């Protein structure tokens, strides 16, 4: 019986080559890749990362619907609890990504196998790679590699005139003997079967180590003839692509009998498929070495860690980590002609989120503040920019122009957003905020922008939000909750989806959301409409705040397939300082504070919050709380929501929670002054409810001292702008009615 419930998140990534990479099949300027981030409900904080990177027009699983197929396979893997190696033989890049993600998850370390390499005690000898180009450019590359200390150089040939390539090789040999420099060439199938042997003979005169794939793959007879007659050892590369079963692997090696094979896990069957190739090659006394297939450092590290488990003295093809301008940070380095891994380095991906969006190099002095996981986030207001769903980019330089050009019929939410951004981008270090006024007159005060960004960092780090994710803004911007959605988008470089605040925020949101923040009323109404509920289910992470979540709503949320949290916080703490998981195995009745937050209780059992990153002073709340030994806490109610009736204290929230089981309409418990009791409990209900027999049903649920003395029907229960029950207005309304 499976006890671990895995979740796999797929994140696409586009890497950019520092310079065009020429091959016989064309020139690469970008490299598409998909990262698989593996987590488990039972082991929060643990993750594994793998990379799927099929090569265009080469990989056997380079499919038009690759992303769709990848999503299907990942879903099946979640259900099965492990990759189905046999079923994935035809999808080597996906198999490689899954195998290495699971390996990383199991080891808990990027050192995927315990070797001298992973311990930083030995390097892996590698070849220096020379890309195709004109004679001059290739010669310049070779000289740089030689000066760096490489003793084995691999040249891509077949793109320029063969005589020029031959002259280049002769130039190298004139200065360096075979003992000083080992030369390999890779034709990528550029030769024709008719003239291949002649070219091999001329190349052999230059004391080359080997040639990779001299003729196009799939010509077994012609290739077998070449391997039997060649004076220059032949290494098969593309020939292995699509040969996925062990029987076919044996057949290919038996028929062609190459001198070497070259293994690329992303192309040749993943780790398990690569091992099959090695076992069969050694059985037939065929040499081999391992190379990467232009993966990012995630895939390169996995290949290198696997490669280090073998005692293969040949230089391997693992020197591709420096090819990209925006590679993922990893403690891999090239020293002379060896690849090294430094387990003591701080250059590790920062977690399930940070690894996926490495911070690009900047040519300015933009300050970057590390998050809780080490991921760097942009915190200079003047350097920030906000990307909107429609492609609009808002910056300090253009915000006033955007305001000027705003159409007269522009949605109010966009007007409010631009106004907030104008305040955010100005020179003042402060932003004015207002409390919701749920327990009294709304208060206005100023907070430092730096504190708002620290609050955003806490949330983005905890939820693994990262550059390129989208976030829904569906709450009013006059309140802190709406403002903080924008600040998170600025700091983490999220794409903001704007919707006018309403009780049905997903009514016209067609695209899947990575992150959304809603109040309970919005979530409740969304769940009542099947189409909107489906959209909510496709929202990867949902946080619910701004009001109490009743038992019925929590029960329905518990069935959702995504990640849902209840938040605890207030305007003074710049929204939440703690989260409570509402669904999945991690569901809890208690809140977990962020690591930088310290909690205690007052003499009245109200919660005291010390959150130095977001609040200058220790905050004594009106929330009656219970602290638990594991550091979590529960909220029992509010001190100012206590009714003292006949000398007995009654918590409003407790009474309301009980009554929700028998009252379907919107209602509120409040109180009015009473000469004998001090305060008398009042039940206010909207007129849509049937009150016949209600008093008897209430009496069956509540003790006498908690039962309302008065029941009054009203047109609407007073709410604040943020959707909370307006307790002060309810008291005034009750006093007016009775």
Instruction: Read off the tokens for 527.
Output: 């769940």
Lowest model confidence (mean pLDDT) among 195-204, 370-379, 381-390, 683-692: 370-379
- Mean local confidence (pLDDT), 546-561: 88
Q: SS3 of 169, please?
A: helix
Give dist(CA 357, CA 289) in Å, integer: 31
Q: Give a yes or no: residue 620 inside a domain.
A: no
Q: Is there a single domain that holds both residue 270 and residue 377? A: no
Domain holding 416: CATH number?
A: 3.40.50.12780
Residues 248 and 154 in one domain: yes
Residue 639 located in a structural domain: no
One domain for residues 521 and 664: no
**Confidence band, pLDDT 50/70/90 cuts, at residue 497:** very high
Q: Is the pLDDT at 650 greater than 80, yes or no?
A: yes
Distance CA 41, CA 584 (A): 7
- Has residue 33 been placed in a domain? yes
Name the nearest CA neighbour of 486 among 445, 456, 522.
Answer: 456
pLDDT of residue 348: 61
pLDDT band at 3, cuts 50/70/90?
low
pLDDT on residue 143: 80
On the question of pLDDT at 374 being above 50, the answer is: no
CATH of residue 673's domain is 3.30.300.30
Q: Is residue 346 part of a domain?
A: no
Does 373 have pLDDT greater than 70? no
Residue 133: the pLDDT is 66
pLDDT at 229: 97
Q: In the predicted model, is pLDDT for residue 402 greater than 50?
A: yes
- Are 560 and 471 in the same domain? yes
pLDDT digits (tens, 9 = 90+) for 109-143: 899 999 999 999 999 999 998 876 666 777 777 88
**Rounded Cα distance, 577 and 574, in Å:** 8
Give yes or no: residues 289 and 140 share one domain.
yes
154 catalytic, yes or no? Answer: no
What pLDDT is stored for residue 216 in this prediction?
A: 95
Residue 321's pLDDT is what? 75
Of the three residues 304, 326, 341, the one that is the final residue of a domain is 341
- pLDDT tens-digit series, residues 438-472: 555 566 778 889 899 999 999 998 999 989 899 99
Give a yes or no: residue 630 inside a domain.
no
Residue 92 lies in a domain: yes
Same domain, 391 and 532: yes
Share of the chain above pLDDT 90, in %: 61
Q: Which domain holds residue 333?
A: 124-341
Q: Which of 145, 199, 264, 483 is catalytic?
A: 264
Tell me what pLDDT residue 157 has.
85
Percentage of the chain beyond pLDDT 70 is 92
> Domain boundary at 573, 592, 611, which?
592
95 and 140, same domain (yes or no) = no
The model's pTM is 0.52
Catalytic residue among 13, 154, 156, 724: 156
Per the prediction, the chain carries an average pLDDT of: 88
User: For 324-356, how does the pLDDT look when each residue is reduced to its tens digit (9 = 90+)?
Assistant: 888 888 899 999 899 999 988 755 664 433 333
Structure tokens at 625: 């709380």
Query: C-alpha distances in angstroms, 258 versus 226, 229, 253, 631?
Result: 9, 11, 7, 63
Res 534: pLDDT: 95
- For residue 638, is it within any domain? no
Q: Are residues 404 and 539 in the same domain?
A: yes
Query: Which of 471 and 429 is assigned the larger pLDDT?
Result: 471
Q: Same domain for 654 and 525?
A: no
- Residue 156 bears catalytic tag: yes
CATH of residue 41's domain is 3.30.390.10
Residues 472 and 532 in one domain: yes
Whether 74 and 199 map to the same domain: the answer is: no
How far apart, in whole angstroms, are the C-alpha atoms of residue 264 and residue 592?
A: 44
Question: Which of 16-20, 253-257, 389-393 tops mean pLDDT?
Answer: 253-257
Q: Is the pLDDT of residue 391 over 70?
A: yes
Highest average pLDDT, of 154-163, 284-293, 719-728, comes from: 284-293
Residue 53 has pLDDT above 90, yes or no: yes
State the Cα–Cα distance between residues 705 and 645, nearest whole angstrom.
7
Last residue of a domain, which of 75, 107, 139? 107
Is the pLDDT at 370 greater than 60? The verdict is: no
The verdict on residue 606 lying in a domain is no
Question: Residue 189 is part of a domain; what is its CATH number?
Answer: 3.20.20.120
Please give the average per-residue pLDDT across 12-40, as a whole number. 81
Same domain, yes or no: 14 and 137? no
**Alpha-carbon gap, residue 562 to 516, rounded angstroms:** 12
Query: What three-state secondary structure class fits 587?
Result: coil
pLDDT tops 80 at residue 360: no
Instruction: Using pLDDT thresholds of 50, 70 and 90, give the confidence band for residue 25.
Output: low
Q: How many domains does the chain have?
A: 4
């Amino acid at each position: 019986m499976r006890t671990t419930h895995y979740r796999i998140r797929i994140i696409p990534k586009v890497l950019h080559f520092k310079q065009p990479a020429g091959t016989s099949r064309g020139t690469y300027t970008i490299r598409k890749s998909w990262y698989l981030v593996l987590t488990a409900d039972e082991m929060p904080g643990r993750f594994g990362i793998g990379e799927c990177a099929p090569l265009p027009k080469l990989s056997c699983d380079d499919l038009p619907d690759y992303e769709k197929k990848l999503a299907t396979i990942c879903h099946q893997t979640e259900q099965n609890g492990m990759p189905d190696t046999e079923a994935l033989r035809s999808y080597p890049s996906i198999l490689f990504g899954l195998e290495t993600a699971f390996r990383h998850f199991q080891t808990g370390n990027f050192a995927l196998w315990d070797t001298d390499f992973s311990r930083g005690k030995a390097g892996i000898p590698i070849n220096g790679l020379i890309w195709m180009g004109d004679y001059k450019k290739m010669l310049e590359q070779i000289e740089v590699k030689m000066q760096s200390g490489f003793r084995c150089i691999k040249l891509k040939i077949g793109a320029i005139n063969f005589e020029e390539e031959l002259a280049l090789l002769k130039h190298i040999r004139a200065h360096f003997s075979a003992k000083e420099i080992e030369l390999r060439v890779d034709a990528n199938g550029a030769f024709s079967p008719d003239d291949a042997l002649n070219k091999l003979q001329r190349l052999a005169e230059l004391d080359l180590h080997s040639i990779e794939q001299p003729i196009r793959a799939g010509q077994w007879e012609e290739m077998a003839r070449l391997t039997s007659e060649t004076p220059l050892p032949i290494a098969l590369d593309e020939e292995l692509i699509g040969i996925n079963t062990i029987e076919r692997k044996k057949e290919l090696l038996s028929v062609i009998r190459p001198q070497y094979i070259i293994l690329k896990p992303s192309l040749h069957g993943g780790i398990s498929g690569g091992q099959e190739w090695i076992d069969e090659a050694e059985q037939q006394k065929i040499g081999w070495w391992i190379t990467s297939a232009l993966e990012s450092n995630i895939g390169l590290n996995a290949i290198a860690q696997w490669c280090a488990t073998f005692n293969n003295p040949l230089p391997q093809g693992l020197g591709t980590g420096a090819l990209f301008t925006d590679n993922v940070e990893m403690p891999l380095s090239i020293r002379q002609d060896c690849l090294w891994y430094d387990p003591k380095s701080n250059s590790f991906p920062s977690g399930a989120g940070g690894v996926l969006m490495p911070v690009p190099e900047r040519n300015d002095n933009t300050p970057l503040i590390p998050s809780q996981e080490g991921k760097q986030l942009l915190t200079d207001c003047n350097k920030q920019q906000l990307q909107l769903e429609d492609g609009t980019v808002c910056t300090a330089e253009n915000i006033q122009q955007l305001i000027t050009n705003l159409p007269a019929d522009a949605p109010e939410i966009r007007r409010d957003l631009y106004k907030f951004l104008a305040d955010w981008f100005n020179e003042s270090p402060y932003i004015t905020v207002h409390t919701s006024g749920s327990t009294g007159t709304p208060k206005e005060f100023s907070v430092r922008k730096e504190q708002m960004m620290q609050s955003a960092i806490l949330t983005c780090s905890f939820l693994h939000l990262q550059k390129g994710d989208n976030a829904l803004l569906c709450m009013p911007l006059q309140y802190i909750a709406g403002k903080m959605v924008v600040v998170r988008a600025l700091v983490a470089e999220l794409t903001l989806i704007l919707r006018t605040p309403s009780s049905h925020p997903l009514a016209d949101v067609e695209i899947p959301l990575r992150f959304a923040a809603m109040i309970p009323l919005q979530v409740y109404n969304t769940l009542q409409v099947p189409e909107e509920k489906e959209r909510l289910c496709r929202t990867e992470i949902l946080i619910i705040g701004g009001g109490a979540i009743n038992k019925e709503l929590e029960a329905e949320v518990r069935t959702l397939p995504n990640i849902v949290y209840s938040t605890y916080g207030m305007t003074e703490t710049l929204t939440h300082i703690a989260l409570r998981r509402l669904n999945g195995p991690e569901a809890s009745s208690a809140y977990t504070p962020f690591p930088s937050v310290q909690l205690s209780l007052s003499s009245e059992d109200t919660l005291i919050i010390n959150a130095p990153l977001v609040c200058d002073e220790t905050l004594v709340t009106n929330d009656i709380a219970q602290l638990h030994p594991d550091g979590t806490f529960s909220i029992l109610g509010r001190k100012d929501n206590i009714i003292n009736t006949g000398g007995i204290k009654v918590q409003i929230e407790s009474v309301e929670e009980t009554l929700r089981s028998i009252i379907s309409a919107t209602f509120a418990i409040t109180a009015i002054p009473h000469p004998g009791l001090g305060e008398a409990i009042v039940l206010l209900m909207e007129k849509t409810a049937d009150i016949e027999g209600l008093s008897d049903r209430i009496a069956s649920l509540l003790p006498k001292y908690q039962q309302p003395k008065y029941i009054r029907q009203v047109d609407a229960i007073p709410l604040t702008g943020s959707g909370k029950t307006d307790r002060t207005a309810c008291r005034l309304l009750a006093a007016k009615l009775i």
